[in-house]
C-alpha cells in the first residue's frame, strides 16, 4: 500500500476509477494500482513527458515554463 499525502493526488492529473460491477475500485485496490504504476515509471517501463529540473533553478525556469511538457522540480 502506498502512503501518500492527500495533496499529492489532488494536485496530480490522475484519475483512479474501477471497472468492476458496482462502481469505483475500493480504496485499497486503487492505492495498489497507483503504487504499481509508480513502480513501472521508476523502472522505465512507462515514460512520462516531463522536464525534470533542479529546484534550485526555480527562479529561472518558472517564468519560461508553459510548454506541452510538465516541469517537475527535483530537490
Do residues 45 and 65 make contact, with C-beta atoms less than 8 angstroms apart? no
C-alpha cell, 27: 480504496
pLDDT score at 64: 76
* pLDDT tens string 6-58: 777 677 777 666 555 666 778 888 899 889 999 998 999 988 888 889 999 99
Taking the C-alpha atoms of residue 33 and residue 35, their distance in angstroms, rounded to an integer, is 5
SS3 of residue 36 by DSSP: helix
How many Cβ atoms from other residues are within 10 Å of residue 42's Cβ? 9
* pLDDT tens string 46-71: 888 888 899 999 998 888 776 677 88
Amino acid at each position: 500500500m502506498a502512503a501518500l499525502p492527500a495533496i499529492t493526488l489532488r494536485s496530480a492529473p490522475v484519475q483512479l476509477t474501477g471497472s468492476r460491477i458496482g462502481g469505483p475500485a475500493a480504496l485499497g485496490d486503487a492505492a495498489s494500482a497507483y503504487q504499481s504504476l509508480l513502480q513501472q515509471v521508476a523502472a522505465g517501463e512507462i515514460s512520462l513527458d516531463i522536464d525534470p529540473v533542479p529546484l534550485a533553478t526555480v527562479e529561472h525556469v518558472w517564468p519560461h515554463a508553459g510548454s506541452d511538457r510538465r516541469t517537475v522540480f527535483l530537490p
